[in-house]
Structures are given as C-alpha cells and as structure tokens.
Amino acid sequence: MDKMYLNQLGIVCSAGSTKQQVIDSLKTNKLCLSKSQQYSRSKELMLGLYHGELPDITLEQPHWHTRNNQFAQLAALQIAEQVEQAKLEFGSHRVGVIIGTSTSGISDNEPLIKQWALDNEMPDEYNYQAQEMAATADFIANYFAVSGPVFAISTACSSGAKALASAQRLIELGLCDVAIAGGVDTMCQLTVQGFSALEAVSEEQCNPFSKNRKGINIGEGAALFVLSKKAQGVALEGVGESSDAHHISAPEPNGRGAIACMEQALKSAKLSAGQIDYINLHGTATALNDQMESIAVNQVFGGSTLCSSTKSTTGHTLGAAGAVEAGIAWLLLNTEDSSAWLPVHHWDEVKDETLPALNFVSNQHKIERAPRYILSNSFAFGGNNISLVLGKII
C-alpha cells in the first residue's frame, strides 16, 4: 500500500484565517473565543466565532452564496496553487472532492424557514440546494472546475477526519490521483440550540478534563487538504475507525470504540504507542466524553504521552473539527520554526480524581524536540470514531 500525503493545508477558524495566524494563536495562548447571544434564545454563550472578512462567492448561482461556502472558498484560496498543479499533471477528471460537514448552508436558510413558519408561505429566496449536505463539496468542485468523485460525509464530529480517510481510499482504489478533502462547518441556531437542549454547552471557556468542566464551546471553521501520493507536506501514516453504537449521543463509557480506533491507527501506521509524541485529544469538556477518552487514552498510551485539547482555542467546530485538528497537527509537523512547541492544554488544573491521569501539555513543560508523529482523535454521536496518525516527512 502506497503512503498518502497531505501536501497542502488551507485553514480558517476563530484562531485565524491563515496557517501562520493559527500557529501564532496557539503558541501565544491567545483567547480566541467570544461571548455571543446571536445563536441562542436565552443566554450569552462562549463561542468559537470567526470575526474576520470573508470573500465574495465567485460562482453566480444564488444557492452557492452561503457562509459555509465563504469559509470553504477562504480555505480553498490557500490550496489553489497545488490544485491547479494537480489538474495540469493528472487532468481535472482525476481530482476528487470529499467534504465533511454537519450544517452545510442551513444558517442562511434559517431566517427564511422562520419566515415560512410565521407566514405559512415559502419565501421566494428560499433554495433547498443551499442546505443540501453535499452543497459545499459541490461548490468546491465547481470552484476548482474538477470532475472526479465528489461527495459529502456527515457523521457529526468525526466528519472532517472521515473525509481524509475516504480520500485516502479513493486514491488507493485508483478512482482519482488527487483529492481535496477536509471539513467545513459554520455557526447556526440549529446546532447551538440543539446542543443547548442536550445541556452540553458552557457559558464560559471550556474546561476539558477538569472536575469543573461544564460542556462545549461550539465553534466554526474550515480545513481543506490536498491529498496525493506525492511525498510533500505531511504523511498520513495511519487511520483507525470504529463504531461502538452504544447510544445516539453518549459515548460508550469504557471507551471500547475509542480504544479500537486508536489501536487500529497505530497498527495501520506500523507504530507503537511509545512512538507517538503528541495526542490532539477530542477533549470536548463534556462529562461523558472526557471520562471515556481519558480511560481510552490511558489504556492505550499510559499516562506519559503529552496531550492537549485545542478546543479552548478553536471551539468545537463540529463537522469540521476532525479536519481543523488534523490541520493543527499538520502545522506542528510541517513548520520551519526551529523552536519545539506543542499546544498548551487550557483548563483550570482542577483534576477530576475519577479520571485516569493524562500528561497534559502545560507552560511548564520543556519540549525537547519537535514532534515526529502525532495522533488526532475525533469521536462523534452514535460512537462514530476515528483516529489519524500524521508524521513528519524525514
């Protein structure tokens, strides 16, 4: 089996809209979350909102003009050179697009749906195509004028990482030579109020793995990669996927699914647990997820591997989370910065004694060398789990 590579990254989230901005936010422990009541009926929530400028959509049809597609276009601009090179080398029909999302363009249709409910008449501007799950994948394919396989993945919080795994398989099967893959999700009332109904959101900055954790900070973001067999960028060393199907929203409490996908990812990468230098935890700061993940990580890696959750910087970007956090791993592995560093785990440092101990990255840690291998976890509703192992090209 040929090794797959993540050749280039485009990223946008509350931490920034360029790779360097995201690096700077993580290195300086910048507070990137903000209070807002825009998406909540009752109270201000801490959200991972992107406040920067977004590009005008270049495609003419009205259904393309959504905030989700603006995020996608902003990330796409950062990988455009590599996509054009791929089209010249292989042909546009050999470039595929796989995008993970959970909201698509629903935020732009929400006011129109509300108007419909109040007036009992469909507004003329309403276009269902804007919120179809594959809308952003189709948009990117049209934006780049590529005609390989195009589809969307919607497995909640594992969607963005699942898109990378699917892209790897498409290339291995010979269905395309290059894939544009990742995740895009933007803020909307549907998700904010849905998670609020589950009593899973926090009004304060999230506090993963703390005894005082109170839930997630929902975020928005996009991360797009160019995948190919060309040894450039960062290696996608291993992928592990599992489905524990324990409950529609709660994870299996003993972490069986999470353990299975981490072990499978290590086996796929032909690595031992001791060779992983850093784990980007799913780390949502909900009671059940943090309990499950700490048990699973401790069982597979013990309590010494350095780890952190970066959701206190980006928020939980839902369908984009697996791609955004793979993007953070990519930045750590593909930097020319000679200083060794890892993202600090932001929390109040009040340990939950009922959880197995993990080795969270702190400001007191002296990182001796840049990481060689990173594992990134994404765990979703229904026990839909994925772990990715990314490696530095030596």
Q: What is the pLDDT of residues 132-151, one digit of tens each?
A: 999 999 999 999 999 999 99
| Catalytic annotation, residues | 157, 282, 316
- What local confidence, expressed as pLDDT, does residue 1 receive? 63
Which has the closest alpha carbon to 237: 389, 387, 386? Answer: 389
- Name the DSSP letter for residue 57: P
Residues contacting 218, CB < 8 A, separation 6+: 39, 45, 47, 48, 187, 191, 192, 195, 201, 315, 316, 318
- What local confidence, expressed as pLDDT, does residue 68 receive? 98
Are 208 and 345 a contacting pair, CB within 8 Å? Answer: yes
Q: Which of 88-92, 280-284, 319-323, 382-386 has the lowest mean pLDDT?
A: 382-386
Mean pLDDT value across residues 62-84 = 98
Mean pLDDT value across residues 35-51 = 91
Which has the closest alpha carbon to 346: 14, 34, 32? Answer: 32
Which has the closest alpha carbon to 12: 221, 225, 218? Answer: 221
Give the start-end residues of each E strand in the chain. 4-13, 34-36, 45-47, 95-100, 150-153, 178-185, 221-228, 234-243, 278-280, 306-308, 359-360, 373-380, 384-392
Domain count within the chain: 1
- How many percent of the chain have pLDDT more than 70? 99
Q: Which domain holds residue 324?
A: 4-392
- What local confidence, expressed as pLDDT, does residue 337 receive? 64
Instruction: Say which residue the tokens 């109170």 belong to.
Output: 214
- What local confidence, expressed as pLDDT, does residue 336 receive? 67
> Cβ–Cβ contacts within 10 Å for residue 97, how many?
30
Q: Which of 211-225, 240-254, 332-346 has the lowest mean pLDDT?
A: 332-346
Whether the predicted pLDDT of 80 surpasses 90: yes
Write the pLDDT tens digit of every residue in 176-185: 999 999 999 9
- What local confidence, expressed as pLDDT, does residue 43 receive? 85
- What local confidence, expressed as pLDDT, does residue 340 receive? 85
Which has the closest alpha carbon to 271: 224, 230, 239? Answer: 239
Instruction: Say which residue the tokens 């996009």 belong to.
Output: 222
Write the pLDDT tens digit of every residue in 106-121: 999 999 999 999 999 9
CATH number, domain with residue 260: 3.40.47.10
Query: What is the C-alpha separation between 289 and 208, in angstroms, rounded?
Result: 10
Mean pLDDT value across residues 267-296 = 97
CA-CA-CA-CA torsion sign (84, 373, 205, 292): positive
Write the pLDDT tens digit of every residue in 149-172: 999 999 999 999 999 999 999 999
Judged by DSSP in three states, 4 sits in strand
Whether the predicted pLDDT of 338 surpasses 70: no
Mean pLDDT value across residues 13-28 = 96
The model's confidence at residue 2, banded by pLDDT at 50, 70 and 90, is: confident
- Name the pTM for this structure: 0.97
The model's confidence at residue 382, banded by pLDDT at 50, 70 and 90, is: confident
Write the pLDDT tens digit of every residue in 237-251: 999 999 988 898 889
- What local confidence, expressed as pLDDT, does residue 40 receive? 85
- What local confidence, expressed as pLDDT, does residue 346 receive? 96
